[in-house]
Amino acid sequence: MDWPAFSKKLILADGRIGEAETALLKRAILDDGMVDREEVAFLVELKQEAKQVHPSFDRFLFLVLKKVVLADGLIEDREALWLRNILFANKRVGPTEAAFLREVKRDATAYGSEFEKLLRDCARLGYPDLT
């Protein structure tokens, strides 16, 4: 059985990701104490396919994304490009994504030129405090 596809159908049965679904996802993903890119990709796909997403889901998605990106404290260029693809998946960056970038920038021990470019691009979209 294709568990990710089956899970996605169950979670998105009504087109929404609510608090209950978010709680289930948290338990499933955080249960082993490790998070990886595959789990982030699954969450991003869920968000893209959902008609409505509860704020608790967004908070969880960004928590998991931050854990993966800052696993070693550094944001390398390949990680910044990956972040760009995720954050611009819906062709825009909103206040939630901007807040996430501020937090990641603050908590990173170092970052490369691709992350700086991502910050500049987001600053041009209405978030000048990112640079």
Tell me the pLDDT tens digit for each residue of 84-105. 999 987 777 889 999 999 999 9
C-alpha 19/C-alpha 116 separation (Å) is 34
Q: Are residues 17 and 42 in the same domain?
A: yes
Q: How many domains does the chain have?
A: 2
Q: Residue 117 above 90 pLDDT?
A: yes
Mean pLDDT value across residues 76-86:
95
Among the candidates 68, 102, 123, a domain finishes at 68
Compare 22 and 126 and report the one with higher pLDDT.
22
Tokens of residue 59, six digits: 């908070």
What does the alpha-carbon distance between residue 22 and residue 18 come to, in Å, rounded to a whole number? 6
What's the rounded Cα separation, in Å, for the pair 89 and 81? Answer: 12
Of 68, 84, 107, the residue at which a domain comes to its end is 68
- What is this structure's pTM? 0.90
Instruction: Note whether 5 and 30 are same-domain residues.
Output: yes
- State pLDDT tens for residues 60-70: 999 999 999 99
List the domain range (segments joined by +) for residue 87. 70-131
Which residues sit opposite 16 in a β-bridge? 52
Same domain, residue pair 44 and 84: no
Q: Are residues 104 and 118 in the same domain?
A: yes
Do 37 and 90 lie in one domain? The reply is no
Same domain, 79 and 43: no
φ, ψ for residue 52 (rounded to 5)?
-145, 140
Query: Tell me, what's the pLDDT at 93?
Result: 86
The verdict on 54 and 99 lying in the same domain is no
**Boundary-marking domain end, from 14, 46, 68:** 68
